[in-house]
Structure 1
Amino acid sequence: MSKFWDAWQNVANNPGVPGQASTLLAQAGQTVSAIATGYTQASAGWADARTAAQTTVDTINDAAAQVAQLNDQIRRTVASDGNANELLDQRSVLVTGLAGLTGATVRDNGDSTIDLVLGGNSLVSGTSARKLALVGAARVEDAAATPVHVEWAGSSVAVDVEGGELAGRLATLAGAQPGGNGGPWAESAALYNRLATSLAATVNGVHSTGVTPSGAPGGAFFALAGALPAALGLSVVPTGVSGIAAAAPGKGGSDGTIADAISRLGTSPTGPDAVWSTYVIQVGVLSRAATQQAVLSTQATTVATTAQTSQSAVDIDEETTNLLMYQHAYQSAARMLTTVDEMLDTLINRTGLVGR
């Protein structure tokens, strides 16, 4: 943007010079290309985020099915007086992972099985599991009209994902909002559209008041068409110095008043640079808030995980059995050492004493 405004200033200083006009048109083309590239990257980032969300949903469905299977195995093992500790550990690992992915809570059924509750409904109920489905927009342009969300598979009932990784991924897929509180990718794409619109409107507004070197009225410098100006609709109209309206009407072809006025749009509080700066500041504020929240969440997670591990990693019955086993093993070993000691005493101190 700065180079674009500088190119206009150079035209103002050298109106009607083909070299300066060519530089301006080249820089204008690069600016248009940069805006289009930014929009494309935002759109691609949104698409990647949706793919990642789908992968997360698939992982949740697979883990929930495994928990249901383990519930069945654990109940059968306990009913036959078997040792289900290993199965319980496997289930605990899966449940911890699901809690991290969805924020689901655990409900003990009292028969060695558990339920996993997500948004007030059971994701896992005893030995059966429900599946989630990711639905909604397939591209960033539709994210506001058709929000990406999760439903129970086979129904149109939305799932209230209260926390976890999945909630974070869904938040990044939110569509752009009037207040700028939408998902980061959609807001970024919307920014490039606003930037393209603002650039065309402000430059065209001044350019149309000037005249070309031949004295013809200046028209639009930028063409703007379509609902997605940043991606496809923004283009440069003039193809040479004859189409650039750098002079004010009645001042001759060597005047650069209009070009100078356009160059000063870069410092306008309502110009395209202001649109960009406002967004950059907003991103900085949101990034700082997100980083602080992440630190707090990490600390809370560490405390909770430590507390959980201290409880779940110890089975009192199993540890008591092991202690008894070790105690008997120690007693047996001690008895063996006593016997060996007595045998050595007999061999060393009593051998050869018979008959004396």
Structure 2
Amino acid sequence: MNSFFGLNVAVKGLYASQAALYTIDHNISNAETSGYSRQVTSQKASAPLSTYTGSGMIGTGVDFISVQRVRDEYLDMRFWNQNISYGEWNAKSEALSELEAIMNETSEDGLNEVLSSFSSALEELAKDPDSEQTRAVVVQNGDYLCKYLNNAASNLILLKKDYNSNIKVKVNEINSYASQIRDLNEQIYKSELDGSSANDLRDQRDLLMDKLTCLADVRINEVDAGTLANGKDDIRLQITLDGVSLVNHFQVNELECYTIDEGSEQDGTYGIRWMKTGNEVEFDSGEIKGYLDMRDGTGEKGGYKGIPYYMEQLDHFAGVFAKAFNEGIYADGTQYIQGHAGGADSDETTGIRFFTFDGKSSDELMKSGSDMNEIYQNVTAANITISSDIEDDPGKIAAASLSGEDGNNENINELVNMFNDSRMFADGMPVDYINSIVSTMGTSAAHASRLASNYESTLNQIDTGRISVSGVSLDEESANLVRYQQAYSAAAKMISVLDEILDITINGLGAG
């Protein structure tokens, strides 16, 4: 044990306190940095030496080991698993809110209200079937009904296109996150070959995985690939999607969107496949799954009820309502009344249809198919219109049941009564059918909102736990700052004292 032994012990304490102070400074600087994990220094007492008499051990100071980040991997895994489900149901909740806004049934401009206005206009015409002004009002309200359905269908189509575009954006985000994670894997791997901990790089990678798990049902694992030259385990990160590796340490398997053109109802929409193999990717959850279900969900065979389902419901309403009003034929295929075509207009003409599609005339409508079913399959929510015959001449509204009878309103009364006929749709009256659509949509929206809220609440709870472990407390760091500052000052004072002792000893002996 040499004369400078005490100085060595003090210097090691100085360096250890200095490292702790630098780490505290780093924590305070990043207190508001997203994804940052609090870091702490790790140190231990140095190996002691035996005294020269062999009667005991004397301490040799402190050894600085490393700087470690404080992180709970179990909470991270829980967060990522919950985040996958949250991404799916949050996307569905927002999408169904948009669908409800399109149907607009909570306002005075909803389909029920428009239908009621049309029925009221017909009732007014029944009171005065020869009134040209009242006939014009009927045409106007019939046109409002058609335009409402046209607008709703158009908005649904636009919404479907928006979700289709969102899918491509989200796929590109997955590729971007995967590439960034791959780059960070390489940096982390190289930085930790000497046994160090790449804390800040790992924080950046975890933050990217927070974002990635919201998009798709990925599975994240760190696997042991052997032993490094320094004796440590060779740990490598793997992220899989649909059973296929998305990120495998330094490699990325990218996704791509392609336009479907197989002749199905999905023509023009994006499919998703692996870029290298061309194999389709199946999503079980995540934000992309939410958008896919909303874009493609037909509700068939227990499937999700997305935009195609509600479009089909509106199309069914338009076709059945037009056929019932024109022909008196209800959803079950039975003719219960003679319909508009069976009545007579002011010119004693019969056979005129009130509703058609794409502004066609009554004759053009009847030539569009070989039978009634085929004809009215052409009528959809997107194209239903008033026939050009009625549009050009409101006098062709068939108010009378027979020609040549002034003031005859029997046919218009039958049409008015049709609105309250429970046989018209399988679900009952027109208003019942509409309410059935709205109720289904409302139930789905409430279910999605409830699940999104539940998952969000769980996420927040888990994240609060993560923050309590990894977050930076400025009060705690300030206390540590004072503690290590005092330790640093004490080590510096020890050096000063030892220096003074050595000076007196060496220089005093020399002076003698």
Give the shorter-chain TM-score range: 0.7 to 0.9
Provide Cα deviations, 1:121-168, integer angstroms capped at 9, x if missing partner.
111011011112234559xx933x787542212433122222221211
| 8 Å Cα contact 1:148-1:174 kept in structure 2 | no
SS state of the match for residue 133, structure 1?
strand
How much has 1:251 moved relative to structure 2? Answer: 7.1
1: CA distance, partners of 2:202 / 2:192: 11
TM-score for the superposition, normalised by structure 1: 0.82
2: CA distance, partners of 1:157 / 1:73: 31
More helix by share: 1
| 8 Å Cα contact 1:39-1:188 kept in structure 2 | no
1: CA distance, partners of 2:198 / 2:482: 21
One of 388, 396, 401 as aligned partner of 1:248: 401
One of 143, 161, 169 as aligned partner of 1:47: 161
| Paired AA for residue 95 in structure 1 | M
| Paired AA for residue 244 in structure 2 | N
How much has 1:175 moved relative to structure 2? Answer: 4.1
Tell me whether 1:294 sits opposite 2:452 in the alignment: yes
| Paired AA for residue 126 in structure 1 | H
TM-align CA RMSD: 3.1
One of 369, 377, 382 as aligned partner of 1:231: 382
**Structure 2 unaligned residues grouped into runs of 5+:** 1-114, 225-233, 328-338, 358-364, 366-376, 473-479, 497-512
| 8 Å Cα contact 2:400-2:411 kept in structure 1 | yes
Match of 2:185 in 1: 71
One of 5, 8, 14 as aligned partner of 2:128: 14
One of 480, 483, 486 as aligned partner of 1:330: 486
Match of 1:118 in 2: 241
SS state of the match for residue 172, structure 1?
helix
How much has 1:120 moved relative to structure 2? Answer: 1.4
How much has 1:40 moved relative to structure 2? Answer: 0.6
2: CA distance, partners of 1:241 / 1:112: 80
Match of 2:250 in 1: 127
Match of 1:170 in 2: 292
2: CA distance, partners of 1:9 / 1:337: 102
1: CA distance, partners of 2:243 / 2:183: 22
Match of 1:28 in 2: 142
SS state of the match for residue 272, structure 2?
strand
| 8 Å Cα contact 1:134-1:148 kept in structure 2 | yes
Tell me whether 1:259 sits opposite 2:382 in the alignment: no
How much has 1:188 moved relative to structure 2? Answer: 2.9
| 8 Å Cα contact 1:248-1:258 kept in structure 2 | yes
| Paired AA for residue 333 in structure 1 | S
2: CA distance, partners of 1:147 / 1:177: 18
- Give the 3 Å change call, closer, same or farther, for CA 130–272 of structure 1 in structure 2: same
- Give the 3 Å change call, closer, same or farther, for CA 178–331 of structure 1 in structure 2: closer
SS state of the match for residue 76, structure 1?
helix
Provide Cα deviations, 1:227-275, integer angstroms capped at 9, x if missing partner.
5622235333413243111111267131111111112222233244333
Q: Which has the larger radius of gyration?
A: 2
- Give the 3 Å change call, closer, same or farther, for CA 100–181 of structure 1 in structure 2: same
Provide Cα deviations, 1:52-99, integer angstroms capped at 9, x if missing partner.
121111111100011111111111111144441111111111112111
TM-score for the superposition, normalised by structure 2: 0.58
Provide Cα deviations, 1:305-347, integer angstroms capped at 9, x if missing partner.
3455566669xxxxxxxx8x9876533313667999xxxxxxx
| 8 Å Cα contact 1:147-1:174 kept in structure 2 | no
2: CA distance, partners of 1:27 / 1:338: 96
| 8 Å Cα contact 1:149-1:170 kept in structure 2 | no
One of 435, 455, 473 as aligned partner of 1:277: 435
| Paired AA for residue 486 in structure 2 | Y
How much has 1:300 moved relative to structure 2? Answer: 2.7
One of 329, 346, 362 as aligned partner of 1:213: 346
2: CA distance, partners of 1:116 / 1:334: 49
One of 299, 314, 320 as aligned partner of 1:192: 314
- Give the 3 Å change call, closer, same or farther, for CA 13–76 of structure 1 in structure 2: same
2: CA distance, partners of 1:78 / 1:50: 42
Worse-superposed segment, 107-116 or 91-100: 107-116
Match of 2:94 in 1: none
Aligned length: 329
| 8 Å Cα contact 2:170-2:215 kept in structure 1 | yes
2: CA distance, partners of 1:183 / 1:147: 18
| 8 Å Cα contact 2:213-2:286 kept in structure 1 | yes
Tell me whether 1:160 sits opposite 2:278 in the alignment: no
| 8 Å Cα contact 1:214-1:253 kept in structure 2 | no
Match of 1:62 in 2: 176
What is the percentage of aligned positions where both structures have the same residue? Answer: 19
| Paired AA for residue 354 in structure 2 | F
Match of 2:203 in 1: 89
